[in-house]
Amino acid sequence: MLVVNELPGPELAPGVLAGLDGSDGSLWALERAAAEAAALKLPLYALAGVNPVPLGWEPGLGDLVQESVERLLAGMTEVATRGIEAVAARSPHPGPVSLHVVAGSPVDLMLRCSRSQHTVVVGTRGNGGFARLLLGSVATALAHHSACPVLLVPPPAVQPPERPGIEDVRPRVLL
């Protein structure tokens, strides 16, 4: 696995780009992205955007902020690498996986990358704090503004206990 701290650029072959944030939803999306890339014989890229930008800081704190950003990137690299390894153990992708861990807004980073990708794959919900929403902010932004097709991966269906007369009322997301 190749790990880099820059976006997959237009010089790389268009592939399937999975958005990672360490959540279960992003790992389900990565698993689906690996299957899509294998089926289409395309490269698989994983992008983890870390948004460490504070609203502002006092002069002289630049070194401290930079050190914090580096720690955040290293932590996300470790989390994303473990996630990729776990997914690869269950459903290996035949080709190499390229992990891109970059500081910046996940929405902005994914939208920029969508210009040079075949498909973008993300979970319907990430690590955000609004669990009642059907779609998270990254999924919503990509669905509305991506330059390439977007595959939104919902969580796996949970089999409810048998209840005669009660039908499945889980929300469905179709784009």
Please compute the mean of the pLDDT values over residues 31-60 and round it to a whole number: 83
DSSP per position, 90-121? HS--SS-EEEEEEES-HHHHHHHHHTT-SEEE
Mean pLDDT taken over the chain: 83
- The whole-number pLDDT of residue 174 equals 47
Task: Return the amino acid letter for 21.
Answer: D
Q: Kindly tell me if the per-residue pLDDT of 41 is higher than 60.
A: yes
> For 130-163, how does the pLDDT look when each residue is reduced to its tens digit (9 = 90+)?
554 567 889 999 999 999 999 999 988 766 566 6
Residue, of 138 and 52, whose pLDDT is higher: 138
Strands (E) in 5-90, as ranges, are: 16-19, 44-50
Angle between helices 62-90 and 24-40 (to 10 degrees): 60
> For 87-142, how does the pLDDT look when each residue is reduced to its tens digit (9 = 90+)?
888 877 778 899 999 998 899 999 999 999 999 999 987 555 555 456 788 999 99
Half-sphere exposure of 32 (CA within 13 A, CB side): 22
Q: Kindly tell me if the per-residue pLDDT of 36 is higher than 90.
A: yes
Residue, of 14 and 60, whose pLDDT is higher: 14
Q: Kindly tell me if the per-residue pLDDT of 28 is higher than 50.
A: yes
Angstrom distance (rounded) from CA 118 to CA 115: 9
Angstrom distance (rounded) from CA 135 to CA 125: 6
- State percent of the chain over pLDDT 90: 48
Domains of the chain: 2-54+66-153 (3.40.50.620)
Residue, of 167 and 155, whose pLDDT is higher: 155
- State percent of the chain over pLDDT 70: 77
